[in-house]
Structure 1
């Protein structure tokens, strides 16, 4: 009887090892698959250049932003990847759930470098290779509103957890988009924050001008989009540093995680700082 128990346990262990190896190989193939015609990611728009040192990918939210960026980009070296809705919060989700997300696995396929999985249980799944990265810059390009900020945070959290070396190697950037468009006579000024808006208005004191709050990326004129967001000579990019990503993840955890006491304490201590941003109309 004891021999039968030992034999049964040996068989169970053997099957477990075989299943784990099969899962590892399937996942590795899924995340590092070449971007051939059959495996092409839906709505991903590639660029012409094969020179990784100049290739840039803009990760945008939704089809309307995809259309605007597609028209404004330089197709020689700028590619576009749209995000369909809000992605999974990767901060605490287990790896099985993360890798079942089509949005996330599509993003990993497009990046081409695999993932770094820092877990003993998932150690064998790690297939990260920085040399396989297909881009010199990964640029997060979202609307300058609450939804856009949240999508940007979710993307940063995903990269921070699955591919932290991309942040450490300074490959990840945030594209700043202007908050205001100010037109006076035949000249247009773009203000990226309230301080810049006030400075432009002081310069234009006594002149006639119009001021317009920036629309979503999908409504931007292609020429304006190119000038303010896409063109390396005139755009503004914020390079994401490891400390920035870590702080973002911590703040995201406080505001949207399971620590109710921490969230309550943070709101009590810092809530007054955000009164001007409240929509109480």
Structure 2
């Protein structure tokens, strides 16, 4: 037997990463990635700190300089990083925020009302990943300076990243500010390429886009980009006094014409969330104030551009504010379309979000305290309360825009564009679905009596199993041929409760149902291949109709049970009576039982209205015209259907066993005991 060395694991095997060492060990955790995006994110963190000063009204200019030696410099004319000594740590404010993770002025909520930074990680992470990091603060008439190497404070004996470094803590005062010189912060750093992938580099175009976007979002601040090109310094200035309106004009495709003017939506609201107080204790239902600013317009094109920002930080993947915006525009536009006569034809579906967004260019910007993001890179906002705030603000003002006399004509043009987009989308979908259905059915002979629909898949399609050929005529004229299919059944199908599988499949009506559904039967039934999303049993509202429904439910329960288990089998609820009032403004009401009819008649007569008598009673679906059948039984928005559940299946099994089973004695007892329940006057003789 060979001895194996024992592997020991003790306290000395544990590693504790102190200070900024954790950032250098796992940079991707703090800056999102170690490719070119990570390098750009370093600059973003520094620029965002300067932008926060501008948002608070303390800075009016931010200058970014890309030096020829690879260093990057950001200057602002804000208040400057605090230079006083922090009582608890004994460090200057500058050294504290640049060498300690989770240190900054954005936690308590007093220094910054709404900030893009909330973890106190950004600037210190840049410092940790830099060969050299110089900071100059102009404050209280003095010029303060400090340098760092990989996050450690010290002094360099010359310019550049390769100068000799001597560790030393403390903030130095270089001299006094010049007359007329503004306060502010200047940061220059040389990032260490060893922490990034081999081909990673700063993307100047991304820097330019970042500064341009921020200038749109903070119209009171001017952003300047300086970069070395062939030994000379080029300069670009970004300043947009009209803010988001200018941004929409910039983002909109140059080759499309506007359908509407740019609509600027500004508002605020409150929401509640669980948040920690200054001592770190979690408090529930803390009230927050949110500011919302949205600019949007529609163009003649088909592309949609929706940019989202939180406290000037771009959220590439949107988030909770985008979800609130989407819900708001759909709700407001759909309501306006429904109120505008002549836009939609009867039976046309309401446009969807895709239709509303077609040709739209929009910018969403929210300012909130202590925003929550899904990651340190802030690509997606996760603060849940903002959804309801932006929904209320955008929906209310967009609704007012569609109704205001001054903008009603412009709004109607937009509504027509949305409806047209919906129609084009549906036509294209029908063409695709028709092609798919043709391919799927090639070589498969469907029953000739099947009146199929054009669409395929289970998202909307539904199959009506219709009692009798007479009802088929009205149903054929009433249905929406895009997604409603019809299969007429002659008489009553076989009672499968007692029949064998062979006898069951020999029955012509049952064979047609199995063939049309296309999923097999019994043990081989495969729900995933079913050709329709719903199966609706449409039988007369009489005893025979109830019997037919019971037989069909039993068929599905025994040989196609997954349809019921998945909630895809329904029974239509056709009306039994049609109550009509006399006079110029005649009313029509449909009722489903004798008692309901009598109550409705009494209600109308008590209101002083005359009733057409005798009250018509439908003896079958075939007595209804197409419009009546559509309104009462087939229109998804007005019909009543009953979902068949397993409880219904058990009741159907018991009823069939009692009324049609082999045992005669239980049936005779039931008939005798139930005879008193028969209303003799209601029997047709």
Shorter-normalised TM-score: what interval? 0.7 to 0.9
Counterpart of 1:269 (choices 647, 653, 673) is 673
**Shift in alpha-carbon separation, 1:213–1:97, aligned structure 2, 3 A:** same
**Shift in alpha-carbon separation, 1:37–1:190, aligned structure 2, 3 A:** farther
Deviations 1:25-48 (A, max 9, x none): xxxxxxxxx644651212101101
* TM-aligned CA deviation for residue 174 of structure 1: 0.5
2:458–2:534 contact (8 Å) kept in structure 1: no
Deviations 1:31-78 (A, max 9, x none): xxx644651212101101113211001001121111111111111100
Equivalent residue, structure 1, for 2:597: 197
Equivalent residue, structure 1, for 2:632: 228
Q: Secondary structure at the match of 2:580?
A: strand
Structure showing greater radius of gyration is: 2
Mapped to 2, the partners of 1:179 and 1:219 lie a distance apart of 11
Q: Secondary structure at the match of 2:487?
A: strand
The answer to whether 1:106 aligns with 2:506 is no
Counterpart of 2:610 (choices 195, 208, 226) is 208
Structure 1 alignment gaps of length 5 or more? 1-33, 117-125
Equivalent residue, structure 2, for 1:122: none
Q: Secondary structure at the match of 1:139?
A: strand
Counterpart of 1:127 (choices 516, 524, 527) is 524
* TM-aligned CA deviation for residue 278 of structure 1: 6.2
Deviations 1:204-261 (A, max 9, x none): 1142111211242112111111000000111000111111111112111101111111
Q: How does 1:34-183 map to 2 (within 5 A)?
A: 35-36=441-442, 39-116=445-522, 126-183=523-580
**Shift in alpha-carbon separation, 1:199–1:151, aligned structure 2, 3 A:** same
Mapped to 1, the partners of 2:594 and 2:530 lie a distance apart of 37
RMSD, aligned CA: 1.7
Mapped to 1, the partners of 2:674 and 2:467 lie a distance apart of 29
Structure 2 alignment gaps of length 5 or more? 1-439
Q: Counting strand residues as a fraction of each chain, which structure ranks higher?
A: 2
Equivalent residue, structure 2, for 1:242: 646
1:179–1:191 contact (8 Å) kept in structure 2: yes
Q: Secondary structure at the match of 1:232?
A: coil
Mapped to 1, the partners of 2:563 and 2:490 lie a distance apart of 23
Mapped to 2, the partners of 1:168 and 1:51 lie a distance apart of 19
Mapped to 2, the partners of 1:232 and 1:160 lie a distance apart of 25
Equivalent residue, structure 1, for 2:623: 219
Q: TM-score, normalised by structure 2?
A: 0.34
Equivalent residue, structure 2, for 1:8: none
Mapped to 2, the partners of 1:277 and 1:57 lie a distance apart of 37
Q: TM-score, normalised by structure 1?
A: 0.80
Q: Secondary structure at the match of 2:514?
A: helix
Deviations 1:149-179 (A, max 9, x none): 2222111111111111211111110100111
**Shift in alpha-carbon separation, 1:87–1:265, aligned structure 2, 3 A:** same
Q: Counting helix residues as a fraction of each chain, which structure ranks higher?
A: 1
| Runs of 4+ residues deviating >3 angstroms | 34-38, 275-278
Q: Number of aligned pairs? A: 239
Mapped to 1, the partners of 2:489 and 2:553 lie a distance apart of 13
1:35–1:109 contact (8 Å) kept in structure 2: no
Mapped to 2, the partners of 1:260 and 1:278 lie a distance apart of 27
